[in-house]
Each structure stands twice: as structure tokens, then as C-alpha cells.
Amino acid sequence: MKPTGEVRKIDQLGRIVIPKEIRTDMDFNKKDPIEIFVDQDMIVMQKYYPACTFCGTKEKNESERYKFSGKTVCKSCFQGVADLNK
């Protein structure tokens, strides 16, 4: 992990502000879904990417993900299903 030198307080509603520099570096934009994990005594946040329904991989590149019947399917699994129908 890389220290940032940033310190923030939790407000009375339990919120913290992520500094703009960090949001920019991490490509966090307004309304982006963020996953939150707990690892021992740390809270870890990362941008949320839906996992493939079949294999569970998370593709960051939207062009590598497909929607099928409301489910997310990665390019590899999508191609595998298409090959089955030949």
C-alpha cells in the first residue's frame, strides 16, 4: 500500500470525503459503484465491476462484458456459448 499523507475525519453521519486527487488517480467518478471490503483492521475500497455469471471474472473494460437476459457475461464465456450454438 502507498501512503497518501491524507487524513480525514468521519462526520456526524459516518461519512468521509475521498480527496479529489485520490478519486482522480483511481478513476472514481460521481455515481460510480464502489465495493467495500474489510481485511483484518483495514477498510479497502475499489471500483465495482460486475462479475461474469459463468466464470466470475471481473472485466474492467466494458467492451469485454456483455449483457444477456439481465446477466453479465465476459467475452470468453459469451464466445463459448456462441460456439455451442454452431
The H-or-E segment that residue 74 falls in is strand 71-74
Q: In sequence order, what DSSP letters do the residues of 7-72 get, joined into one string?
A: -----TTS--PPPHHHHHHTT--TT--EEEEEETTEEEEEE--PBPTTT--B-SSGGGEEEETTEE
Domain 8-48: which CATH class? mainly beta
Q: What is the pLDDT of residues 2-59, one digit of tens each?
A: 888 889 999 999 999 999 999 999 999 999 999 999 999 999 999 999 999 999 999 8
Confidence of residue 81 (pLDDT cuts 50, 70, 90): confident
- Residue 85 phi/psi, 5-degree rounding, is -90, 10
What local confidence, expressed as pLDDT, does residue 64 receive? 87
In the chain, where are the structural domains located? 8-48, 50-86
The H-or-E segment that residue 73 falls in is strand 71-74
Residue 66 C-beta-side C-alpha neighbours within 13 Å:
13
